[in-house]
Amino acid sequence: MPAYEPVIGLEVHAELQTRSKMFCSCPVVDLTTAEPNTAVCEVCAGMPGTLPVINERAVEYALRVALALDCQIHQQSIFARKNYFYPDLPKGYQISQYELPLATQGRLIIRTSQGERAVRIRRVHLEEDTGKLTHVERNGERYSLVDLNRAGVPLLEIVSEPDLHSVEEVRAYATTLRQLLRYLGVNSGDMQKGVIRFEANVSVRPVGSNQLGTRVEIKNLNSFRALEESVAYEIERQIRILERGGRVEQQTLGWDEARRVTVPQRSKEEAHDYRYFPEPDLPPLLIDDAWLERVRQSLPEMPWARYRRFREAYGLSEYDAGLLTAEKAVADFYEAAVAASQGQVPPKMVANWLLSEVFRWLNEHGKSITELPFDAKAFAALLRAVHTGAINKNTGQKVLAEMFATGQHPDRIIEAKGLRQISDADQIQAWVNEVLDAHPKEVAKYLAGKTSVINWLFGQVMRRARGRANPQAVRQALEAALKRRADIAD
Ligand code: ADP
Ligand code: MG
Ligand code: ZN
């Protein structure tokens, strides 16, 4: 029996979060909080006699994405009407791009357990979003509510070639694309608000074949989880059909979240069913060299480039570099802290504290790094105090807790609470002697060979020092003192 290889191509719809809509001046509002139908005008409600006007900022955002994806930019592209009837589409057509899209032939580098790979991008085009339907059932009556706040919101469609061959690659592609959109500042990445949606085209073929199998298209996937689960389900379903000697039917499917199965939807339209034709109300979209160059210059460092640089410049592990570059704001904070530490704190230590202590607090409080009550400089000052031994690690964690709570500068907290680390040898010696004198039984146990008791004694000394003693110095003094007592006992 031949082994089968999955073949997947993704279509990603991302809202471009401009201030106003694609073809009118209505604001782009948060669908989850705005009153329905409060951001609607004649244009986006599809009144006869109105005319669309292209949103320059939306084009600029689209160019950012297309350039970041290494696409070939078409400096002249054409808007087209995609005609179909649906209650969320007031005009009876969607303005999109078809034969001549904004950009084609790009690529996105993804990272999986197999290493790095380029996934080819087929096209990137601009269009407008539809309204939103809410299906309700009340007192036995079923009806649908229409909210046109989303109608006309700029939408970017990014279509990959069928280059993905596992669920892992699908996940990597989708998350990398989301990361990129956020880096570019064109989309919040807030999946719960539906600002990014996926469609997965899935087929399978015998390993070694270079022909494409019959594909299905899974529509309306609004989360990474739905994307991954539905693709995994389809791969298995199709392999089972082929193993039985059957044929996969080309169809459009939906994903039933509750039952976790794909379900057939309306049969797939062919392009001619949409009766695409050039939008007569809009001129061709022209992008001159100067504009293109301006956008190119404005691009930030790409996440994958930053990842590589973090690994090389700061000696970070794949895992740490991945976490630190996942979000631009995190990477910015990290680099600002490293810079502020002026070479006095190892970059690896900055990474450790950020990824453990700070991330834990952010997770616990459901906050993002931009909401920290202190800046990267203050964070660097704390780490400098720990690294130079002004305070010990434990005290550092306590100071950080105080910084989270009050936003105060670490130096002020250390001074105000008298937390400065004590390394004075005489003082430490005195604490060690006090502890050993106070606990003759434990000392005897240690001398009798139960050396792990030293950890308990260490704790007692630190306690006497109210946590401020230099731990290395305490350990050394403790070992030396116990050794002296052992020599005497011999
Ligand atoms: P449509 O616009 O009708 O959905 P396209 O030809 O534009 O069709 O393809 C859409 C997506 O389907 C692309 O991402 C493409 O890579 C993918 N695709 C096309 N053929 C296959 C196939 N046989 N198996 C998996 N994906 C496919
Ligand atoms: Mg499609
Ligand atoms: Zn409007």
Residue 273 has a pLDDT of 87
CA of 151 to the centre of ligand 1 (A): 26
Q: How far apart are CA 437 and CA 398, in angstroms?
A: 30
Give nearest CA residue, ligand 1 atom 5. 159
Nearest-atom number in ligand 1 for the CA of 159 is 14
321 burial (CB, 10 Å; 0-12 / 13-18 / 19+) is buried
Give 431-465 pLDDT, tens digit per residue: 899 999 999 999 999 988 898 899 999 999 888 88
**Domain covering 425-489, topology:** Arc Repressor Mutant, subunit A (1.10.10)
pTM of the model: 0.84
The ligand with the least distance to the CA atom of 104 is 1
* Residue among 108, 86, 88, 83 at smallest CA distance from 98: 83
How much is the average pLDDT of 401-429? 89
What band does 490 get if pLDDT is binned at 50, 70 and 90? low
Residue 419 has a pLDDT of 77
* Strand intervals (E) in 238-343: 252-256, 261-264, 277-278, 285-286
Residue 468 has a pLDDT of 81
CA of 11 to the centre of ligand 2 (A): 7
**Phi/psi of residue 83, each to 5°?**
-90, 125
How much is the average pLDDT of 179-200? 95
Evaluate whether 14 touches 196 at the Cβ level (below 8 Å): yes
Nearest-atom number in ligand 1 for the CA of 203 is 24
Residue 269 has a pLDDT of 57
Q: How far apart are CA 413 and CA 390, in angstroms?
A: 13
Give 52-79 pLDDT, tens digit per residue: 999 999 999 999 999 999 999 999 999 9
Nearest-atom number in ligand 1 for the CA of 161 is 16
Nearest-atom number in ligand 1 for the CA of 123 is 7
**Amino acid at site 266:** R
CB under 8 A, 24+ apart: contacts of 269-272:
269/84, 271/98
85 burial (CB, 10 Å; 0-12 / 13-18 / 19+) is exposed
Instruction: Name all residues whose Cβ lies below 6 A of ligand 1.
Output: 7-11, 122, 159-162, 201-203, 212-213, 215, 217
Residues flanking ion ligand 3, Cβ below 5 Å? 24, 26, 41, 43-44
Residue 267 has a pLDDT of 61
Higher pLDDT, 266 or 43: 43
How much is the average pLDDT of 22-38? 95
Mutation choice for ligand 1 from 8, 11, 166, 211, CB with most ligand atoms inside 8 A: 11
Q: Where are the domains of the chain?
A: 4-295, 307-416, 425-489
**Phi/psi of residue 234, each to 5°?**
-65, -40
The ligand with the least distance to the CA atom of 159 is 1
* Residue among 258, 260, 259, 234 at smallest CA distance from 248: 234
Residue 469: pLDDT over 90:
no
